[in-house]
Amino acid sequence: MYAVKGSIWIEGNNGTFIGYGRAILLEGIRKHGSITEAAKSMKMSYRQAWQMVDNMNKQSKSPLVEKLTGGVGGGGTKLTKDGEKALTCFWELHNKFTKFNVVATEKLKL
């Protein structure tokens, strides 16, 4: 009947660094190679998506997302190595937290 629920995120020097929404956004950028397309797939405005990316980039030692310039098709956007690292780190945390919630639900004395 009762269930433990919650949300979890990683904070940096300037508020949220990465949480569930930002992780999905980074996945979208990896998939689509474009902030615009990633934002569309989440029904988020480009402006909001860009601000999230900018905020993540600024809170990290090196950017998580970078613009590719030139080449056939003229660029696009990709996740950097640090972007992949942040994603992996967040999903690991997210999975541990999901397990924490399952165990805590089983142990509820209500």
Q: Which residues pair with 18 in a beta bridge?
A: 10
Contact between 102 and its own copies (CB under 8 A)?
no
CB within 8 Å of 35: residues ≥ 6 apart: 29, 46, 49, 50, 53, 65, 77
Q: What residue has token string 């905020």?
A: 55
From 26-34, 42-50, 72-80, 81-89, span contacting its own copies (CB under 8 A): 81-89
Calpha distance 23→88 (Å, rounded): 9
Smallest distance, its own copies to C-beta of residue 86, A: 7
Binding status of residue 81 toward its own copies by CB under 8 A? no
Binding site for its own copies (CB under 8 A): 1-13, 17, 85-86, 89, 93, 96-97, 100-101, 104, 108-110
